[in-house]
Structure 1
Amino acid sequence: MNPKILLLVFFICFLLPPELSFNLGSMRLSPYRIVLILFFFKLINEVLFSSNKSKLESAVDFLILFHCSWSIASLMINEGVGKGIESGGIFFVETLGSYLLARYTIKNLKDFEYFIKIAMISCLFIFPFAFYEMVTGTHVIRESAALLTGGYFFNNIEPRMGLTRAYANFEHPILLGVFGSTLFLFFYFSKSINSKYIIPGIALFLTFSSLSSGGILAIVIQGFLLIWHKVFNTLKIDSKWKKLIVLIAFGYLLLSFVSQSPLKLILSRITFSQQTAYFRTLIFEFGSAEVVRNPIFGIGFSDWIRPLWMPPSVDNFWLLTAMRFGLPSLLSIVAAIFIVSSQVLKNQCHKFSLLYFIVLCSLIFAGCTVHFWNQLLIYFYFFLGIGISFFTKERTELNEKL
């Protein structure tokens, strides 16, 4: 299949609501999962076994492959061979498959612009439904899909600030918010989008319509990093990103002197409620202890040790990765992200290189406050795969700086 057609088909299936999924035995098959299964071996052949790759591309591919493979091994050890192969196999196909799909379909900046156009059309479609949900409390897409399949959609999420939190086509408002946050800057600076306010404004609205701190935090971080870049470029100061890392480290050290728990202080400022901040602090405390007890293979899908009154959810993608699959799985994905982000900055052949780096950083921070699952998990690995296109051999050299 033509890469552009495959990307379009994948994105359409990615945006279909979860009610359109069905069970095949004990396996849940969502539309995007079916696409990844059908093209999985083709993607492996076209990307992993490609001879037209640099050493850095191969290194990232290996780290992602190791990350996914270790996750299978962890589940087999913790859950048994049968369940480990079934659950781990699906995780393997979804994560590695979405990463490889991005590698196969987006190889240069022209392909990236095509992705932006698809994302723009998707947001234009989602926008009226998200707006209607916020105002009326009726979740048109999810409820209609449930009626179509004979299922039932139940919204158990409380309103915030007098407004209903929008789902649109996603399983949870958080997923919609983080998804929208990753597109705002791309829409604003893209030449293929004529309107510099309406389309980016729609992406911004989708982020805020979730009324989730994860997506809103991502937008705030993007704004800060963009301003930081502009100021340092104007003043012609070198090593701006190294200086930022030093500043963040110094700021955290300073907070440790004025507060017994810097983490709790930070969380209390980036959440909608003190209760959420309190629970996230406890999650980090007890979750980290679980990682210390099971550092190599994690605990799989087993329950984690915590007070009886605490809910089982872990609102931290990075922490939950270490808890479930062990530190090798976490460290391998972190290493892959480090290589991608550093190479994107090093090979800035276009303004989108910097924008991608900024959005990736915001996505990393968002992962500290929310968990990536289902559609957002697929999108995260897909987004990471996009980053290779900014330093691959096939990239388009368009020297347009931001």
Structure 2
Amino acid sequence: MFSAATNMHFAREQRVAQPPLHTSLKSQSEGRAAAWRLRLIIAALFLPEGLSFFVGDFRLTVARALLIIFTATTLLNRQKSARAFGMSDFFALAAAVWMLIAGTANEGFAGLKGAGIAAIEFAGCYYVFRCSLDSVDSSVRMVRYACKVLVVVVAVALLDPLTGKLFTYEFAKGLTGYTKPIVEEALAQHAEAMFRNGLLRAMGPLEHSILFGCVCAWFGTLAFFTFPHRLFGQSIAAFALVGLWFSQARGAWVAYVISFALSGYFAATKQIPMRWKLIGSITAFALVLIFSFSGAPFATLMRLAGLSPEAAYYRQGIWAAAAPMVAHSPLFGIGSSWDWQSSMDLYGPSVDAFWLQNSMTYGIPSTLFVFLTMTSPFWRGPIHDSAYLTAEESRLSVALGIVTVAAVFLGFIVHFWGVCWILLGAFAATRASLADSATLRHRTEQVLDAYQHAGRIAAPVGARLRL
């Protein structure tokens, strides 16, 4: 007598794991091309900014150039995809369109150019990943490859504190002469943004140690949860922990703790169908209490999350000073060229809150569309118990939910740009593709079963599902 878990494993093997008997060479070629597109983008994300180049007025990184090319080809071939236009697809498009409108309204053609690049980084990446993750386990292979790239990134980043200088930044500067005045000034002043606890903060090829810490937290979570019983997943999580430690990014540390706490909660409550609604309701109730009775709600949240009092009240000051600016121009924001330090209450050079800064730059609707792009792939409900996903695809679907929760929280205390901004679109597209795969494979089996029962064909098990 087989257990229920064994029966489900056999069902998954029958439905998913076996390749089709009649797969065209063209389909295989398209699948390989899609995989290489994603690999190129992932690798390019971690090339140093100093290797960027000018095309007219645009300074393009390699990742931006690839996204422009692949976004154009993806949209031209969109009609060939078997996938329907889903809610997250609509919200990604709406976010891009609103950014373009807001940029133009605030700063004219110059604003349109800047907003266009931001839209391609987020929405363009979303559509490239969305239309490239079709085959069985393609999402898992993409995550596995990204985790391998992370190992290299962490190894390079460790050279920063070990050598006492920004190794990758200096290397790129020696090749191209590219410098960032804000980085040079922070290094000269021994600023906390660059040094903590007597060590230079690791950032490797990324633009800031905060971005490096967030990437470590996200991919460490994905690896540990998706490949929990393999040395690979545990090793990647350990590498990510080392990178996170030397980044000294407090917000990213909080995100990693939240991610592993949610992972433990999921493992302990597998028999409770309403577990996510339960913890969501408790969290919502706690937030209502904090915002109702605390005179400094953001500082209170940050203190509860483990941040220092100084960091917590710095974030509270940012929200207190910048929120009225958004309230005066909620639709289109105030643009990217605004003097962020024009208010005496803003005592830092940046707004360290993604949701707030995005609203300031492009308006509240843009921020809402970005949020909905990230969360709408989960509206169909949990898919981790679907018999039409492989075991690793199922675990990845949960891991992406945990990473999304961590990213939403982080957006209130750190700003995302560059690689993290692009990855927000990639993660949303990956989860949407997994949900579509479960639905399409189920419908395909229903069609094959209908034909088989009608006596028209005898569909072999191995030919059932590969979309």
Tell whether the 8 Å contact from 2:226 to 2:399 is kept in structure 1 after alignment: no
Deviation digits for residues 255-275 of structure 1 (CA, Å, limit 9, x no counterpart): 457643232122234465433
1:74 equivalent to 2:74? Answer no
Q: What's the offset of the Cα at 1:231?
A: 2.5
Matched, 1:223 2:260: yes
Moved more, 166-175 or 84-93: 84-93
Match of 2:60 among 13, 19, 29: 29
Q: From the superposition, tell whether residues 240 and 27 of structure 1 become closer, same or farther in structure 2 (CA, over 3 Å).
A: same
Does the alignment pair 1:355 with 2:399?
yes
Give the SS at the match of 1:215.
Answer: helix
Identity %: 26
Asked if 1:303 corresponds to 2:374, the answer is no
For the Cα contact (< 8 Å) 2:400–2:427, is it kept in 1? no
Q: Which residue in the other structure is 1:18 paired with?
A: 49
What secondary structure, in the 3-state scheme, does the structure 1 residue paired with 2:197 have? coil
- Give the whole-Å Cα distance in 2 for the aligned partners of 1:198 and 1:347: 24
SS at 1:279 equivalent: helix
CA 65–196 in structure 1, closer or farther in 2 if over 3 Å, else same: closer
What's 2:350 paired with?
313
1:3 pairs, out of 34, 37, 46, with 34
Task: Name the residue aligned to 2:434.
Answer: 390
Following superposition, the deviation at residue 101 of structure 1 comes to 1.6
Counterpart amino acid of residue 303 in structure 1? D
Distance in 2 between the 1:242 and 1:190 partners? 22
Structure 2 counterpart of 1:369, which letter?
Answer: I
> How much has 1:145 moved relative to structure 2?
1.3
1:322-378 per-residue CA deviation (whole Å, 9 max, x = no partner) reads 111112112222222331123362564312211111111111111111111122211
Match of 2:26 in 1: none
The aligned residue for residue 338 of structure 1 is 375
TM-score, normalising length: structure 1: 0.89
* Maintained 8 Å contact 2:374/2:424: no
The question of whether the paired residues in 2 share the 8 Å contact of 1:109 and 1:395 is answered with no
2:250 and 2:225 map into 1 onto residues whose CA distance is: 24
Structure 2: distance between partners of 1:298 and 1:284: 15
Q: State the alpha-carbon separation in 2 of the partners of residues 92 and 33 from structure 1.
A: 11
Q: Which residue number in structure 1 is paired with residue 92 of structure 2?
A: 64
Matches of 1:394 and 1:309 in 2, distance apart?
A: 48
* Distance in 1 of aligned mates of 2:55 and 2:287: 49
TM-score normalised to structure 2 length: 0.77
Report the residue type matching 1:173 in the other structure.
S
Partner SS, residue 301 of structure 2 = helix
Deviating more after overlay: 338-347 vs 67-76: 338-347
Q: Residues 308 and 285 from structure 1, CA distance in 2 versus in 1: closer, same or farther, beyond 3 angstroms? A: closer
Q: Is the aligned partner of 1:291 residue 2:322?
A: no
One of 244, 247, 269 as aligned partner of 1:210: 247
- Distance in structure 1 (CA, Å) of the matches to 2:194 and 2:111: 35
Unpaired segments ≥5 residues, structure 1:
none
CA, structure 1 residues 132+306, in 2 after alignment: closer, same or farther (shift >3 Å)? same
1:267 to 302, 309, 324: 302
Q: Bigger radius of gyration, 1 or 2?
A: 2
Q: Cα–Cα, structure 1 residues 277 and 105, in superposed 2: closer, same or farther, change >3 Å?
A: same
Q: Which shifted more, 352-361 or 224-233?
A: 224-233
Deviations 1:285-344 (Å, cap 9, x if unpaired)? 222212211111111112356216622411111111111111211222222233112336
- Equivalent pairs, count: 392
The answer to whether the 8 A contact 2:225-2:263 is kept is no
- Segments of 5+ residues of structure 2 without an aligned counterpart are 1-29, 188-192, 387-393, 443-467
Structure 1 pair 195–329 and aligned structure 2 pair: CA distance change class (3 A): closer
1:199 shift after superposition: 2.3
Aligned with residue 153 of structure 2, among 117, 120, 126: 126
Say whether the 8 Å CA contact 1:60–1:339 is kept in structure 2. yes
Structure 1 residue 201 and structure 2 residue 238: aligned?
yes
- Shift in Å at residue 70 of structure 1? 0.7
Higher alpha-carbon deviation: 210-219 or 307-316: 307-316
Residue 173 (structure 1) shift: 0.4
Sort the Cα spacing of 1:152 and 1:289 in 2 relative to 1 into closer, same or farther, 3 A: closer
Q: Of residues 65, 82, 86 in structure 2, which corresponds to 1:52?
A: 82
Q: Is the 8 A contact 1:18 1:30 kept in 2?
A: yes
Alpha carbons 1:108, 1:394 under 8 Å: kept? no
SS at match of 1:314: coil
| C-alpha contact 1:17 1:142 (8 A) present in aligned 2 | yes
Partner of 1:281: 316
CA displacement 1:10-41 (0-9 Å, x = unmatched): 12211100000122332111110111122221
Q: Partners of 2:439 and 2:262 in 1: how far apart? A: 25
